[in-house]
Amino acid sequence: MNKVDPRTTVINERLRRTSRIIAVSSGKGGVGKSLVATTLALTLTQRGCKVGLFDLDFTSPCTHLIMGVKDAQPKENKGIIPPVVKGIAIMSLIQFSGDQVAPLRGADVSNALIELLAVTQWGKLDFLILDMPPGIGDAVLDLVRLVKRIEFLIVTTPSLLAFETVKKQVRLLQDLKIPIIGVLENIKMSSATNIERETEKLGLKFLAGIPYDPGVEDAIGDVTKLLGTTIANRIKNVVATNITQ
Protein backbone atom coordinates (compact mmCIF):
# COMPACT_ATOMS: atom_id res chain seq x y z
CA MET A 1 0.00 0.00 0.00
CA ASN A 2 1.02 3.61 -0.49
CA LYS A 3 1.69 5.55 2.66
CA VAL A 4 -1.41 7.28 4.00
CA ASP A 5 -1.90 10.71 5.56
CA PRO A 6 -4.05 9.65 8.54
CA ARG A 7 -5.23 13.15 9.52
CA THR A 8 -8.13 13.41 7.09
CA THR A 9 -9.85 10.38 8.63
CA VAL A 10 -10.70 12.17 11.90
CA ILE A 11 -11.84 15.57 10.62
CA ASN A 12 -15.56 14.80 10.59
CA GLU A 13 -15.28 13.13 14.00
CA ARG A 14 -13.79 16.39 15.36
CA LEU A 15 -16.81 18.26 13.94
CA ARG A 16 -19.40 15.65 14.90
CA ARG A 17 -20.82 17.71 17.76
CA THR A 18 -21.01 20.92 15.69
CA SER A 19 -24.54 21.44 14.40
CA ARG A 20 -23.77 23.80 11.52
CA ILE A 21 -20.56 24.78 9.75
CA ILE A 22 -20.78 28.03 7.80
CA ALA A 23 -17.95 29.22 5.55
CA VAL A 24 -18.06 33.00 5.02
CA SER A 25 -16.46 33.26 1.62
CA SER A 26 -15.96 35.32 -1.50
CA GLY A 27 -14.16 34.82 -4.74
CA LYS A 28 -12.72 38.32 -4.25
CA GLY A 29 -10.62 39.88 -1.48
CA GLY A 30 -11.38 43.10 0.36
CA VAL A 31 -15.16 42.63 0.47
CA GLY A 32 -15.41 42.37 4.28
CA LYS A 33 -15.48 38.61 4.84
CA SER A 34 -13.65 38.77 8.17
CA LEU A 35 -15.88 41.54 9.47
CA VAL A 36 -19.00 39.65 8.39
CA ALA A 37 -17.70 36.33 9.83
CA THR A 38 -16.74 37.90 13.17
CA THR A 39 -19.98 39.88 13.46
CA LEU A 40 -21.97 36.77 12.55
CA ALA A 41 -20.18 34.80 15.29
CA LEU A 42 -20.79 37.57 17.85
CA THR A 43 -24.46 37.91 16.86
CA LEU A 44 -25.08 34.17 17.15
CA THR A 45 -23.37 34.19 20.56
CA GLN A 46 -25.63 37.08 21.67
CA ARG A 47 -28.61 34.92 20.74
CA GLY A 48 -27.40 32.23 23.14
CA CYS A 49 -25.74 29.91 20.61
CA LYS A 50 -22.43 28.12 21.27
CA VAL A 51 -20.13 29.38 18.54
CA GLY A 52 -16.64 28.75 17.21
CA LEU A 53 -14.76 31.10 14.87
CA PHE A 54 -11.94 29.64 12.78
CA ASP A 55 -9.80 32.14 10.87
CA LEU A 56 -8.67 30.30 7.75
CA ASP A 57 -7.00 33.27 6.12
CA PHE A 58 -3.64 31.91 7.23
CA THR A 59 -1.44 34.45 5.47
CA SER A 60 -3.50 37.50 6.50
CA PRO A 61 -5.51 36.60 9.60
CA CYS A 62 -7.48 39.46 11.15
CA THR A 63 -10.45 38.16 13.16
CA HIS A 64 -8.29 38.50 16.30
CA LEU A 65 -7.84 42.21 15.49
CA ILE A 66 -11.56 42.73 14.91
CA MET A 67 -12.33 41.07 18.25
CA GLY A 68 -9.52 42.82 20.09
CA VAL A 69 -7.92 39.54 21.18
CA LYS A 70 -4.63 40.24 22.90
CA ASP A 71 -3.19 36.96 24.08
CA ALA A 72 -5.44 33.94 24.01
CA GLN A 73 -3.58 30.68 23.62
CA PRO A 74 -5.07 27.23 22.98
CA LYS A 75 -4.59 24.45 25.52
CA GLU A 76 -3.55 20.85 24.92
CA ASN A 77 -5.85 18.03 25.93
CA LYS A 78 -6.10 15.09 23.54
CA GLY A 79 -5.69 17.69 20.80
CA ILE A 80 -5.88 21.48 20.80
CA ILE A 81 -8.63 23.22 22.78
CA PRO A 82 -9.40 26.68 21.35
CA PRO A 83 -9.45 29.57 23.84
CA VAL A 84 -12.83 31.21 24.47
CA VAL A 85 -12.97 34.98 23.99
CA LYS A 86 -16.21 37.00 24.33
CA GLY A 87 -18.01 33.68 24.52
CA ILE A 88 -16.56 32.42 21.21
CA ALA A 89 -14.10 29.54 20.78
CA ILE A 90 -11.47 31.02 18.49
CA MET A 91 -8.78 29.43 16.38
CA SER A 92 -6.29 31.23 14.18
CA LEU A 93 -2.82 30.51 12.86
CA ILE A 94 -1.80 33.72 14.64
CA GLN A 95 -1.89 31.68 17.88
CA PHE A 96 1.13 29.79 16.52
CA SER A 97 2.86 32.27 14.21
CA GLY A 98 2.50 35.26 16.57
CA ASP A 99 3.47 38.55 14.97
CA GLN A 100 5.71 36.80 12.41
CA VAL A 101 4.76 36.76 8.75
CA ALA A 102 3.35 33.41 7.55
CA PRO A 103 4.50 33.11 3.91
CA LEU A 104 2.71 29.92 2.85
CA ARG A 105 2.33 28.38 -0.58
CA GLY A 106 -0.81 26.47 -1.54
CA ALA A 107 0.42 23.05 -0.38
CA ASP A 108 1.43 24.54 2.98
CA VAL A 109 -1.99 26.19 3.38
CA SER A 110 -3.59 22.85 2.66
CA ASN A 111 -1.38 21.02 5.16
CA ALA A 112 -1.93 23.59 7.92
CA LEU A 113 -5.70 23.50 7.32
CA ILE A 114 -5.82 19.69 7.50
CA GLU A 115 -3.61 19.69 10.61
CA LEU A 116 -5.81 22.15 12.49
CA LEU A 117 -9.04 20.44 11.42
CA ALA A 118 -7.59 17.09 12.58
CA VAL A 119 -6.33 18.15 16.00
CA THR A 120 -8.71 20.91 17.14
CA GLN A 121 -11.22 19.71 19.72
CA TRP A 122 -14.11 22.15 19.27
CA GLY A 123 -16.47 20.26 21.59
CA LYS A 124 -20.20 20.89 21.27
CA LEU A 125 -21.05 23.88 19.10
CA ASP A 126 -24.24 25.17 17.54
CA PHE A 127 -22.24 26.99 14.86
CA LEU A 128 -18.68 26.93 13.58
CA ILE A 129 -18.03 30.03 11.48
CA LEU A 130 -15.12 29.78 9.03
CA ASP A 131 -13.52 33.03 7.90
CA MET A 132 -12.25 32.01 4.49
CA PRO A 133 -9.30 33.41 2.56
CA PRO A 134 -10.21 35.20 -0.68
CA GLY A 135 -10.51 33.19 -3.86
CA ILE A 136 -11.48 29.73 -4.98
CA GLY A 137 -8.23 28.02 -4.07
CA ASP A 138 -6.88 25.42 -1.68
CA ALA A 139 -8.98 26.30 1.37
CA VAL A 140 -12.31 26.16 -0.50
CA LEU A 141 -11.40 22.95 -2.31
CA ASP A 142 -10.09 21.25 0.83
CA LEU A 143 -13.12 22.18 2.91
CA VAL A 144 -15.55 21.02 0.24
CA ARG A 145 -13.56 17.77 -0.01
CA LEU A 146 -13.11 17.11 3.69
CA VAL A 147 -15.93 18.70 5.69
CA LYS A 148 -19.35 17.11 5.36
CA ARG A 149 -22.32 19.41 6.03
CA ILE A 150 -20.42 22.59 5.10
CA GLU A 151 -22.56 25.53 3.95
CA PHE A 152 -21.40 28.75 2.34
CA LEU A 153 -22.43 32.33 2.95
CA ILE A 154 -21.14 34.45 0.08
CA VAL A 155 -20.04 38.08 0.50
CA THR A 156 -19.72 40.53 -2.38
CA THR A 157 -19.56 44.27 -2.90
CA PRO A 158 -21.61 46.19 -5.48
CA SER A 159 -18.56 46.14 -7.77
CA LEU A 160 -18.85 44.18 -10.99
CA LEU A 161 -15.24 43.08 -10.36
CA ALA A 162 -16.26 41.36 -7.13
CA PHE A 163 -19.54 39.95 -8.36
CA GLU A 164 -18.10 38.40 -11.52
CA THR A 165 -15.75 36.31 -9.36
CA VAL A 166 -18.55 35.53 -6.92
CA LYS A 167 -20.61 34.16 -9.83
CA LYS A 168 -17.78 31.75 -10.69
CA GLN A 169 -17.51 30.61 -7.08
CA VAL A 170 -21.28 30.09 -6.92
CA ARG A 171 -21.17 28.04 -10.12
CA LEU A 172 -18.46 25.81 -8.62
CA LEU A 173 -20.38 25.30 -5.38
CA GLN A 174 -23.66 24.65 -7.20
CA ASP A 175 -21.95 22.11 -9.50
CA LEU A 176 -20.61 20.35 -6.39
CA LYS A 177 -24.08 20.54 -4.76
CA ILE A 178 -22.76 22.46 -1.75
CA PRO A 179 -25.49 24.40 0.10
CA ILE A 180 -25.31 28.21 -0.17
CA ILE A 181 -27.23 30.19 2.45
CA GLY A 182 -27.24 33.27 0.24
CA VAL A 183 -25.36 36.40 -0.82
CA LEU A 184 -24.61 39.45 1.33
CA GLU A 185 -23.86 42.70 -0.48
CA ASN A 186 -21.39 44.65 1.65
CA ILE A 187 -20.03 48.22 1.38
CA LYS A 188 -23.11 49.35 -0.54
CA MET A 189 -22.73 52.97 -1.71
CA SER A 190 -26.09 53.48 -3.43
CA SER A 191 -29.61 52.14 -3.57
CA ALA A 192 -28.93 50.21 -6.80
CA THR A 193 -30.53 46.76 -6.85
CA ASN A 194 -28.49 45.10 -9.60
CA ILE A 195 -26.68 42.69 -7.21
CA GLU A 196 -30.01 41.67 -5.71
CA ARG A 197 -31.41 40.92 -9.18
CA GLU A 198 -28.25 39.11 -10.31
CA THR A 199 -28.24 37.02 -7.12
CA GLU A 200 -31.81 35.91 -7.75
CA LYS A 201 -30.86 35.00 -11.33
CA LEU A 202 -28.30 32.60 -9.82
CA GLY A 203 -31.13 30.94 -7.92
CA LEU A 204 -29.81 32.23 -4.59
CA LYS A 205 -31.29 34.20 -1.74
CA PHE A 206 -30.18 37.85 -1.45
CA LEU A 207 -29.63 38.12 2.30
CA ALA A 208 -29.04 41.85 2.78
CA GLY A 209 -27.45 44.98 1.43
CA ILE A 210 -25.10 46.48 4.00
CA PRO A 211 -24.39 50.18 3.44
CA TYR A 212 -20.88 51.55 3.78
CA ASP A 213 -20.45 52.46 7.44
CA PRO A 214 -17.55 54.82 8.21
CA GLY A 215 -17.95 53.97 11.91
CA VAL A 216 -16.76 50.40 11.41
CA GLU A 217 -13.06 51.29 11.42
CA ASP A 218 -13.46 52.88 14.84
CA ALA A 219 -15.11 49.68 16.11
CA ILE A 220 -12.18 47.42 15.17
CA GLY A 221 -10.97 45.76 18.36
CA ASP A 222 -14.08 46.75 20.36
CA VAL A 223 -16.89 44.21 20.06
CA THR A 224 -19.38 46.38 21.95
CA LYS A 225 -18.94 49.16 19.40
CA LEU A 226 -18.95 46.64 16.56
CA LEU A 227 -22.31 45.26 17.65
CA GLY A 228 -23.71 48.79 17.43
CA THR A 229 -22.74 49.33 13.79
CA THR A 230 -24.99 49.16 10.74
CA ILE A 231 -23.26 45.96 9.61
CA ALA A 232 -24.14 44.29 12.92
CA ASN A 233 -27.77 45.44 12.71
CA ARG A 234 -28.14 44.01 9.20
CA ILE A 235 -26.45 40.76 10.19
CA LYS A 236 -28.80 40.44 13.18
CA ASN A 237 -31.70 40.49 10.71
CA VAL A 238 -30.00 37.93 8.46
CA VAL A 239 -29.41 35.65 11.47
CA ALA A 240 -33.03 35.96 12.61
CA THR A 241 -34.56 35.41 9.18
CA ASN A 242 -32.14 33.08 7.39
CA ILE A 243 -29.89 31.28 9.86
CA THR A 244 -31.55 30.52 13.20
CA GLN A 245 -35.15 30.58 11.97
Amino acid identity of residue 181, one-letter, is: I
Burial class (CB in 10 A: 0-12, 13-18, 19+), 176: exposed
Instruction: Tell which positions 1-20 bind another protein, by CB under 8 A.
Output: 1, 3-7, 9-10, 13
User: Minimum distance from CB of 115 to another protein (Å)?
Assistant: 5
What distance in Å separates the CA atoms of residue 116 and residue 159, rounded to the nearest whole number?
34
| Distances in whole angstroms, Cα of residue 159 to Cα of each of 20, 52, 164, 188, 206 | 30, 31, 9, 9, 16
- Work out whether 70 is an interface residue with another protein (CB under 8 A): no
- Applying CB under 8 A, what is the total number of residues that bind another protein? 35
Provide CB contacts within 8 A for 12, sequence distance 6+. 146, 147, 148
Answer for which of 62, 72, 85, 119 binds another protein (CB under 8 A) is: 119
Answer for which of 47, 83, 86, 111 binds another protein (CB under 8 A) is: 111
Answer for which of 47, 68, 72, 79 binds another protein (CB under 8 A) is: 79
Interacting residue ranges for another protein, rule: CB under 8 A:
1, 3-7, 9-10, 13, 58, 74, 76-80, 93, 96-98, 100-105, 108-109, 111-112, 115-116, 118-119, 121
